[in-house]
């Protein structure tokens, strides 16, 4: 079998064995996903490129730690890219280098009004099942999840920004994730 015919999992094994061509093939298949995930969090394309490169270097360094039983390669890459982008975003934010327009917009909607500008971010997602699952969340949960997922704020930061008690914010995010897990899981079984 030529490397081009290999499954993603087989490519990961090849990479773990030091096959550089396999990294190129993985990039060909999933580079766009990895870059898009980073760009969803970081609006600066140059920084998103750095994140993308970093993700593939991590793949090279740690392909051996990938466990097929814990999820597909594509979703694994997506999570690494998003979480790496969040790390970078936090560093930039600590230096004051991040525009806060989206956050301000999210915050400007009065609680309970149902007018969540984070809505636009969620509705931009490609996966209809994900969009639908998010849409069923109560507005307060969705608002907290927006700040957590797209902006990587900690519980404390979200509580401060929304002017809500810390415990309430923790519960909202937890409940939101539990609901999403249930809804995405249910739909996959259909």
Contacts with other proteins by CB under 8 A lie at: 15-18, 20, 23-24, 27-28, 31-33, 35-37, 39-40, 45, 49, 52-53, 56-57, 60-64, 70-71, 74-76, 78-79, 81-83, 86-87, 124-127, 130-131, 134, 148-149, 152-156, 170, 173-174, 176-178, 180-181, 184
CB of 113 to other proteins, least distance (A): 24
Give the residue with the Cβ less far from other proteins, 79 or 97: 79
3-state DSSP of the chain: CCHHHCCHHHHHHHHHCCCHHHHHHHHHHHHHHHHHHHHHHCCCHHHHHHHHHHHHHHHHHHHHHCCHHHCCHHHHHHHHHHHHHHHHHHHHHHCCCCCCHHHHHHHHCCCCCCCCCHHHHHHCCCCHHHHHHHHCCCHHHHHHHHHHHCCCCCHHHHHHHHCCCHHHHHHHHHHHHHHHHHHHHHHHHC
Closest to other proteins by CB, 57 vs 113, is: 57
Q: Which is nearer to other proteins, 49 or 113 (CB)?
A: 49
* Residue number with CB closer to other proteins (110 or 171): 171
């Amino acid at each position: 079998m030529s490397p081009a015919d290999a499954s993603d999992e087989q490519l990961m094994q090849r990479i773990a064995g030091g096959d550089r061509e396999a990294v190129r093939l993985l990039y060909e298949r999933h580079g766009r996903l990895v870059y898009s995930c980073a760009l969803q969090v970081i609006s600066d394309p140059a920084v998103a490129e750095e994140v993308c490169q970093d993700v593939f270097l991590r793949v090279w360094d740690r392909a051996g730690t990938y466990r097929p039983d814990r999820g597909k390669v594509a979703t694994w890459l997506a999570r690494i890219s998003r979480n790496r982008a969040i790390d970078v975003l936090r560093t930039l934010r600590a230096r004051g280098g991040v525009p806060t327009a989206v956050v301000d917009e999210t915050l400007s909607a009065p609680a309970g009004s149902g007018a969540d500008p984070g809505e636009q971010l969620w509705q931009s997602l490609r996966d209809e099942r994900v969009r639908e699952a998010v849409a069923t969340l109560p507005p307060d949960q969705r608002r907290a999840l927006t700040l957590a997922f797209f902006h990587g704020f900690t519980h404390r930061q979200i509580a401060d920004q929304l002017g809500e008690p810390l415990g309430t914010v923790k519960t909202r995010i937890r409940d939101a994730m539990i609901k999403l897990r249930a809804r995405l899981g249910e739909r996959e079984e259909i």
